[in-house]
Amino acid sequence: MAANEEDSALVKLELACSDLRTLLLSSAKLEKDLEEMEKKFDSIDEKLSTAAKRVAPLQSLAMAAKALETRINRAVSPALGLLHSFKLSESFQKKLIELSDKLSIEKNPRKRLKKLLKYVQCVDQLNEVINLISRDGEPVIQKLQEVVEFLSRTKATDQYRTQRLKETLITLKALYESEVDAMRFDGLLDEALLNLQDEFEIMLQQMKHQNIGEQQADEEADQTLVSDLGTEMEVQVLRRIAETLSASDCLDICIDIFVKVRYRRAAKALMRLNPDYLRTYTPEEIDEMQWQSLETSISLWIQHFELAVKTVFVSEKKLCKQVLGGLPEVLIWLECFVKIADKIMAVFFRFGEGVARSNREPQKLFKLLEMFDSLEKLKLEFTEIFEGESGADICIRFRELEKLLVHASSKVFWEFGLQIEGTSDFFAPPQDGSVPKLVRYAVNYLKYLTTETYSAPMAKVFQTEQMWKAGILSKPETDESLLKDAISNIMEALQRNIESKSPSYKDKILPHIFVMNTYWYIYMRSRNTELGKLIGEQYMKQKYKSAAEESAYMYQWRAWRPLVRLLEKEDSEEQDNGTKATAVVRGKLEAFFNRFDEISQRHARGYSIPDADLREQLREATVKLVVPVYSEFLNAHSKLLSGESYVSPESLKGLVGQVFNGTDRTSNGKPKRRDSKDTVPGRNSVSVEGELKNFRRSRSKSIDA
């Protein structure tokens, strides 16, 4: 076993030695091959070095030619582009002439607009090409000149080619210097821009405000309806023209045309309303106007102001934005709109300020409130229309006018109260005890003021004024509370005026008639109205109705109670004998009817109770006071009066009724005595006047006897 293993190891060793010898032989051969290859590489390198030395001059020459080509191309290519631009400008000019001819003969409005749009596009293209020539011309010529100088200096090409390049440079330079300014300022482009300005103005003039006069005539028309001034195509063309003029350094001309034309159009639209009243605007001139004329003028001012803001200026603002909104100057359209509206608004403001500064007559309050209310309703929309810094001045003047109206309205109201206080010393009360004109005027004035139309603006005026005095951060009273306090002050002034005048009567009955009539008038005219609701119905009853009823009682006590006392029974009548008692009774009746006639004459000539309802109540109360006592007197003395003619109780009732019949008066002021058939039973029917005469006649005979 060991011998076999040793043999196997020996065989492997021999094989390994054999492989090693083979490897050594291969390595020697490889080394020899490498030496041969190195010799060959050295030979090739030597040949390449020789070739490179021979090719180097040609390579430098090729690089120089390439650099020269690049330099020439950098100058020649822009020059070719410049020449191409000149050709384009020539073609666009020809196209402009063709379009201009077509425009001049086109009659169809829509087709003409389309052709005009193409004309504008062609003007834009020509302008762009001319601007390109103007911008690139000098740099192109400069580069070309540098190339010519380089070739001349370096003699990189032959003299013939250099000369041709020089001639091309001279021609291009002369063309640029002679044509560019003419193309920009004296050529077809300038003429085309003038044509566009004319077209721009004509199109703007053709855009009119429709139905302005008709809206004024039709009270039910919706004046806030805003219509487009032009069609979509017209607006598009105007916008393109404005952009073209702006791009051609004609923006100022474009704006001047737009403002001038649209101002005239807006003014003419409002002139169709015939606002002649706006010519009178100073406070002195307004004070000289008749009230009816001024009232009409203020009403028209309110309508026209609202129409101008909501309709005319909204349309004008929309057109400004549509036409000028695309210009590079973003807010230029707002400035143009303000320029259009400024002069027109100044005329409206001028009239409003004149009214606010004119004399503060009481009747002006309602028109001042109407003006103030209209501005309040327009305030938000007005601010939106005249937005931004451009409209700041107009908005300031709007607020100043509101302030003037607030101060004027407040002054008129409080001065009206002072006038009521002041009249107590200078004007006597009515001689017949009727309601003074001042009371009638004041009550109806306050009634009108507390209606829905005027109560809210008046309260707003008070609240605004209080806020100005106390500061914005203060907590003002409610509108209703402020208005109630103000009205109550006027009512109290009116009451003080009444109380101060009632003692001036010499007649003892007239003060009560005067106070009764006046307070009854105030109560009856105020109840179930907005004035009564504001002050309080219960307060009105306690304050004025009670005072009127108290004065009515005092009137009856002063006027009719003495008459009744004449018929009161006296103890001496029972002690007199028959003849003497009859004379006493007849004397009382005579005194009664004499006093009754005196009272009737006073009522006919000196006393006035104009309210029919009040007269009826007084008549009923007086009948209840007088007739029962008279009837009782007749019944008590019927035996003494038998066979005598006297007025029956029913006839007396009719006579009392005639005293309070405020309409049946003769020319001399005496009440008419209507015939009555209500006589004592068994007597012939005679008139009341006849009964009084018969009674007096029989009484006279008995005295004579």
Structural domains in the chain plus CATH codes = 21-186 (1.20.1050), 228-402 (1.20.1280.170), 437-569+580-657 (1.20.1280.170)
Highest mean pLDDT (candidates 34-48, 319-333, 440-454)? 440-454
Instruction: Give the pLDDT score at 553.
Output: 93
Beta-bridge mates of residue 671 = 665
Instruction: Give the pLDDT score at 26.
Output: 62
> How do residues 617-638 score in pLDDT, each as one tens digit?
999 999 999 999 888 888 888 7
Instruction: Give the pLDDT score at 109.
Output: 85
Mean pLDDT of 336-341: 94
Q: Which residues contact 63 (CB under 8 A, 6 or more apart)?
A: none
Q: How far apart are CA 364 and CA 352, in angstroms?
A: 13
Instruction: Give the pLDDT score at 11.
Output: 57
SS3 (DSSP) at 45: helix
> How do residues 482-504 score in pLDDT, each as one tens digit?
899 999 999 999 999 899 888 88
Instruction: Give the pLDDT score at 695.
Output: 42
**pLDDT confidence band for 699 (50 / 70 / 90):** very low
Instruction: Give the pLDDT score at 330.
Output: 74
Average pLDDT, the chain: 79
Range with the poorest average pLDDT among 165-179, 273-287, 317-331, 645-659 = 165-179
Mean pLDDT of 578-607: 84
Which has the higher per-residue pLDDT, 663 or 337?
337
Instruction: Give the pLDDT score at 404.
Output: 95
**pTM score, whole prediction:** 0.74
Q: How far apart are CA 233 and CA 237, in angstroms?
A: 6
Is the per-residue pLDDT at 575 higher than 50? no
Instruction: Give the pLDDT score at 666.
Output: 37
> How do residues 234-278 score in pLDDT, each as one tens digit?
999 999 999 999 988 889 999 999 999 999 999 999 999 988 999
**pLDDT confidence band for 700 (50 / 70 / 90):** very low
**pLDDT confidence band for 187 (50 / 70 / 90):** confident
- DSSP secondary structure string for all residues of 329-383: STTHHHHHHHHHHHHHHHHHHHHHHHHHHS---TTHHHHHHHHHHHHHHHHHHHH
Mean pLDDT of 449-478: 82
Instruction: Give the pLDDT score at 521.
Output: 94
Mean pLDDT of 136-165: 64
Taking CB atoms within 8 Å and a gap of at least 24, the contacts of 540-547 are 543/495, 544/519, 544/520, 545/519, 545/520, 547/515, 547/519
> How do residues 381-391 score in pLDDT, each as one tens digit?
999 999 888 89
Is the per-residue pLDDT at 6 higher than 70? no
Mean pLDDT of 128-135: 73
Mean pLDDT of 521-528: 92
